[in-house]
């Protein structure tokens, strides 16, 4: 997945949820490793916050090159794009 340009990351004055909302306006998924680019350390908690706002996700389990398992959150519904 292609990440946003560096000047889009760690946007000053935005909450972590707002940064994720902006991310999902351009991309359809995110993993914990990608979320760390935004300095989000607890992605499952932020995904729960987005679910409370009406966002819907699928959870896809994968393995990285070292065999470590990780989850990718795939956006299935964005209430901001109605």
**DSSP secondary structure, 28-48, as one string:** SEEEHHHHGGGT-S-HHHHHH
Band of residue 7 on the pLDDT scale cut at 50, 70, 90: very low
Decide: 20 and 57 in contact? Cβ < 8 Å: no
User: According to the model, what pLDDT value does residue 4 have?
Assistant: 56
Predicted TM-score (pTM) of the model is 0.81
User: According to the model, what pLDDT value does residue 13 have?
Assistant: 82
Q: How far apart are CA 36 and CA 42, in angstroms?
A: 9
What would the pLDDT profile of 25-75 be if each residue is shown by its tens digit?
999 999 999 999 999 999 999 999 999 999 999 999 999 999 999 999 999
């Amino acid at each position: 997945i292609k990440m946003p340009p560096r000047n889009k990351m760690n946007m000053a004055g935005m909450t972590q949820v707002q940064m994720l909302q902006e991310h999902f306006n351009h991309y359809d998924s995110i993993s914990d490793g990608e979320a760390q680019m935004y300095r989000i350390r607890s992605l499952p908690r932020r995904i729960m916050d987005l679910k409370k706002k009406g966002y819907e996700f699928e959870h896809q389990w994968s393995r990285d090159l070292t065999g470590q398992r990780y989850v990718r959150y795939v956006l299935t519904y964005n209430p901001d794009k109605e």
